[in-house]
Structures are given as C-alpha cells and as structure tokens.
Structure 1
C-alpha cells in the first residue's frame, strides 16, 4: 500500500468518544463534499486513508470537518485521492503491468498480488479487484523482473500445479487488518477476528455464551454478492471464512488473545443478579398453596371454556349443580318455613287427624 496511511488506532486516541454533529458529518455527506464516489470514499476509509470517529448517538461512524479539510488541502486532490483508491480487474491489471492475463493470474494465485475487493458475477465467477497503485509498484520493482518475463521458476510452477490459490486467504488477511484499524472497542477487535472463522469454531474458543452474544453485537457487516442464501452469497461466505488448517489455528489463537484482552478492559454484560432463585412466572403459579377439598370454601377448578355462558348447566349432572355446599348455604327463611311445616304435621298425627 502506498501513500501516507493513517491508522484507525491513531484516530481512536486523538478523537473523542462522541462527536458533535456540527463538527462532523455522515460518510455520504462527506463523499459529496469531497466530490468523490461513495465506493471510492468507502474504500479509502477501509484502507485507513480517511479517519472516521464514532457518532455520539450510536448512529454509525462520522467524518470530522477537519478531516475533510485535510483531504481537500492535498496538492494533488482530487486526482491523487482517486488514484490511490483506483481498483482494476485481471484484464486491466495485466495491461497495466504489461503481462498476459495468464501470468497475472499466476502471480495472484501465488500471493504476490493481493486483492483488495471481490464480487461474484452473474455466472457465479469470483472477480478479484486490485489496487492499481500497488500493481504499478510491483511492476516497477526491478526485483520482480524475472517474475514478469520468461518462465515461472520451477518451485512456483509446482505449487500452481498442485492447485495453490492464495487470493482468498490474502484477501481475508488484508480485510482483517482494515477491520482492526477501524475498531475502537476491544470487543470490536475480537469480533473482527471471529468474523473470519466458521460459526462452529467460535464456541470452542469463546465458551461463555454472554461473551459470544456480546461479540455478535460488534460483528462487521459485509456486503454480500446476491440475495441471502443464493449460490452467489454462499460462495462469498466461503471466501470470507478461513479454510486452511493453519489459518484457522492462527485465527483461533488471535481470537482467544483478543477476548482475554477485552475481558480485562471491560467484561461482557450479564443479566442483573437476582435476590432470590430465578424462576419463570408459571413456576410461581404452580407453587401457590392448594386448598384441601374438605376445607370450607373450597371451589373445584373448572376449565375456562365451561364458563362461557349459562348453557353449560343444561347437561351438568345434578350432584354438580346441588352439592353439599349448595344445601349448607340455604336461605334462613326457607329453613324456618320447613321447620314450622314439620312441627304442624307432627301435632296433627298425634291427634289422629
């Protein structure tokens, strides 16, 4: 990478945690004010050529007005800015280096040319993009002359014959470096490393579920080719995920170190401690004291659908409608009337009537 690259670590130490909206603007606004394409602006941020700061309301990153003025004040702006972020594909890159497309592809597969971007076209073919500035430098370096002309050295040819292709791995390494430069939080740095691992690998390294949940909050958002779940998106996911055993082990070790560092600086949030044992609400309902059916005032429970209207009494057995409780609650005047009637009947019987 050429030019003066400003790392995000320097930005984090120099910029405040929150940024005043009057002294900063959104990336879209900054790109318009600089008169460059949004894709050019985003790549410059990714490469660390434009400093950004976190917003004061969690609304994404912003660009300070002083940073816009710094970029504008460059003598070769905007030509130099656009030249630094210009990307080319295989055909244009080969022409720029004055080599054949086949040789250019071999150099890229050997890891000598590192892609900065990629996308999957409609034919499900991966299209790799390179910084034109870096290709210029590689071609101008006299030490690379033997790689640009003549036969490829025997050892390198053997690796190519075995199927060596370092383009995906080199892209992942470069992308991780860019993500780490933009990370302002130790958990964001750990999440950047975790984003290159398969989802099954992360729980083996980060065993605490609360820490894994916290990592997901900081997981970088990447633009995939095609709609989610499509073959193009699946192919892009494969490229974004570490595949070589040594690369996986390296990333796992880095993730463990990054999480340990983040844990020391700021532990992952956990649910507030409870004063008593945590029980779901339905368990509290089940623990309510139960009444003995023999105790006074006990009412048998009935399903809710039996309480919708009076028609449920039509087919209810007699002993359900008039149980012991029904008689024990008979009105007093009815009981007195029954007593007087039985007394009169007894006197008439004694008189022989």
Structure 2
C-alpha cells in the first residue's frame, strides 16, 4: 500500500463515526441502523482490533443520494404477518403457509411478551416473490408448496439462519472468520465431529459471530432464541457441516490455528465432501426493502411509508447508491 493510501486510510479511520452517531446522522433508529448494517445498506470499516465504525464518506454517500432519508428508510421497511399479507393482497393464513414453506426468508425476529416468536420480513422480498410467482397468491395451495410443508412444516427459522449466515460470510475478512460462520449454528457435538482438533475448534469458537442481538429478559424467551440460532434438521446440519469442512480446508491453507504452527498437519477429513441434495422453493433475489419512519405499532412494526400502495405498484424504487445486488441463495439449506 502506498504512503498516500496509508495516510488516507488512517485519516478515514480516525474520523469514522461510532454506530450511534452514524445512526443519528442517517436519521435511523438503532434497530433500523442494525438492520442496515446487516443488509449491507450501510458499510462499516474496522476500528481497533475488534470494533467497527462508519466512515464519513459512507455517511455522505447516503446523505447526497436522491430521496434521502425517506428512500433509505423505505429500503429498510420490514413487515410482520398482518402487514405482509395486506401488502401481497392475501390472507394472513396464506401468507403464513408461504412463509412456513420457505418461499421468502425472514430478515429478523423478536420474542413478544407472550413468548411467541414474531417473524419479520423485508417488504421488497415479498414484492419480488409476488412478481415472480403470482400463481402462488391465488387459488389452491400449489403442489410444490404442499410438498415442502410436508417435508418441513416450518422453514422460517432455517431460512432466517441461512440468510444470516450468507450476510456474515460476506462480511468475514479472514478465512478463519468465514469458517467460524457455519460453526455458529452447530451444537458442540456436531462441531467436535467436524473439527476434532482442539486448537482449531477453539479458534472457531472464539471467532463465531453473533447471529442475533435479541436477548429477552425471561429464561424461557432466551431459551427460545437459543433454539432458533442452532441448526435442527438432519439435512440442514449436514449442509452446514459440509460448508464448515470446505471453509476449514481454506483456512488451514491460509495459516494454521494458534497452537498448531509447529505440529504436523491434520490428516484428510474422512467425511465425504459432497453436499447433501436440498430442494428449495424459489426465493426472491431482489434488493431488500425497508422500514419507514415512525413510532412502533402492530407487532412492533413502524407505520407504513407514505404512498406505500403507489410504491408497491411501481416497486422498482431507488436502489442504494453504489450498492450491489446481494449474493444468490443457491447455497442455502
């Protein structure tokens, strides 16, 4: 790196903003800002050894974009079951069947005061799905959806996990960090089976990312969150084991885990490297949408953006300046 680039990077880092300040500059609530970072709407930069901040150029990129701040907050619009069903013009029961069948992945969740998991979805994901699959919104439940529900009665948790792992993998800056992503959804027994070496396993455990910031107050609610984070079905577990082994091979080639530098390399993995066959309903690949400004209302949601019906009809909307389309979901379980 040239001296000029080093100086520019140092200056940018010194002037970078902490998350709370960056959220205020962008007119976002803490929850909206958290989602914006997860989705890649707001890019962050490294700060110190473990922290992250937002560069001033990133703030200016958004503030100078057309329609700011409404356009940004609309891209962060999330809806629950009731508003999602209204958005698509279907009944809440049909919306729930589509969500359970894996037609679209939740973007986040929370546990309400009745200890019920409330799933939330990006509005643009729903509109993209409706545009691509209008036949699934009317008439009898399609055979493909019935078969999916028979195999997995509720795919919402695994769809959310897959989405979060995609996001975290994209943000990982090191092969060991990438290997730690699938390790985050495996229980200790499965992790030991995939990574028998204690030094490598300790490295992965230390680097495992946090999938959700949801930390309910009651023990029962915390237990519900802990269950949602872990892979549960056999085929999902096997898929993440496969991803972990592939990422681990890349990490080993990059550098040994601490403690293994002067030890002989681990033997070949006896497990097959072939990924398990997985069938998926089509999932939207479009840009995420957003949550509008306003105080919380139904199911913890913010009120609809002004002109949301016109936005739904037009739906093309403003894409974040300089933002690329998200990775495809082909590797999701």
**Match for residue 291 of structure 2?**
none
- Hey, what's the Cα distance between the residues in 2 that align with 1:216 and 1:160? 34
- Hey, what's the Cα distance between the residues in 2 that align with 1:28 and 1:77? 19
**Match for residue 35 of structure 2?**
43
Instruction: Please state if 1:180 is matched with 2:172.
Output: no
Cα-to-partner distance string for 1:115-140 (whole Å, 9 max, x where unaligned): 1001121212111000012222323x
Q: Do the aligned residues in 2 keep the contact of 1:52 with 1:64 (CA within 8 Å)?
A: yes
- Hey, what's the Cα distance between the residues in 2 that align with 1:20 and 1:73? 18
Which residue, 95, 99, 103 being the options, matches 1:104? 95
Instruction: Please state if 1:193 is matched with 2:182.
Output: yes
Cα distance, 1:272 vs. partner? Answer: 9.5
Instruction: Please state if 1:24 is matched with 2:13.
Output: no
Greater mean deviation of Cα atoms: 57-66 or 78-87: 57-66
**Residue 225 and residue 23 in structure 1: after superposition, are their counterparts in 2 closer, same or farther (change >3 A)?**
closer
Runs of 4+ residues over 6 Å off in structure 1 = 16-19
**Match for residue 69 of structure 1?**
60
Scaled by the length of structure 2, the TM-score of the pair is: 0.71
Cα-to-partner distance string for 1:322-346 (whole Å, 9 max, x where unaligned): xxxxxxxxxxxxxxxxxxxxxxxxx
Scaled by the length of structure 1, the TM-score of the pair is: 0.67
CA RMSD of aligned residues (A): 2.5
Cα distance, 1:88 vs. partner? Answer: 0.7
**Residue 160 and residue 59 in structure 1: after superposition, are their counterparts in 2 closer, same or farther (change >3 A)?**
closer
**Match for residue 274 of structure 2?**
none
Q: Give the 5 Å matches for 1:1-353.
A: 20-55=12-47, 57-139=48-130, 141=131, 143-157=132-146, 159-160=148-149, 164-221=153-210, 222-227=212-217, 230-270=219-259
**Residue 219 and residue 18 in structure 1: after superposition, are their counterparts in 2 closer, same or farther (change >3 A)?**
farther
- Hey, what's the Cα distance between the residues in 2 that align with 1:161 and 1:211? 38
- Hey, what's the Cα distance between the residues in 1 that align with 2:11 and 2:247? 27
- Hey, what's the Cα distance between the residues in 2 that align with 1:187 and 1:234? 28
- Hey, what's the Cα distance between the residues in 2 that align with 1:69 and 1:266? 38
Q: Secondary structure at the match of 2:216?
A: coil
Cα-to-partner distance string for 1:201-239 (whole Å, 9 max, x where unaligned): 1111111111111112211133234247x1111111111
Cα distance, 1:66 vs. partner? Answer: 0.9
Q: Do the aligned residues in 2 keep the contact of 1:48 with 1:181 (CA within 8 Å)?
A: no
- Hey, what's the Cα distance between the residues in 2 that align with 1:104 and 1:80? 26
Answer 1 or 2: higher relative contact order, Cα 8 Å, separation at least 6: 2
Structure showing greater radius of gyration is 1
Cα-to-partner distance string for 1:32-86 (whole Å, 9 max, x where unaligned): 111211211111111112211111x225111111111111111121111111111
Cα distance, 1:162 vs. partner? Answer: 6.3
- Hey, what's the Cα distance between the residues in 2 that align with 1:120 and 1:62? 28
Q: Do the aligned residues in 2 keep the contact of 1:115 with 1:171 (CA within 8 Å)?
A: yes
**Match for residue 307 of structure 2?**
none
Cα distance, 1:21 vs. partner? Answer: 4.0
- Hey, what's the Cα distance between the residues in 1 that align with 2:100 and 2:82? 15
Cα distance, 1:19 vs. partner? Answer: 7.2
- Hey, what's the Cα distance between the residues in 1 that align with 2:260 and 2:153? 48
How many residues align? The count is 256
Q: Where do 5+ consecutive residues of structure 1 fail to align?
A: 1-13, 274-353
Cα-to-partner distance string for 1:71-120 (whole Å, 9 max, x where unaligned): 11111211111111111100111111111000100111111121100112
Q: Secondary structure at the match of 1:196?
A: coil
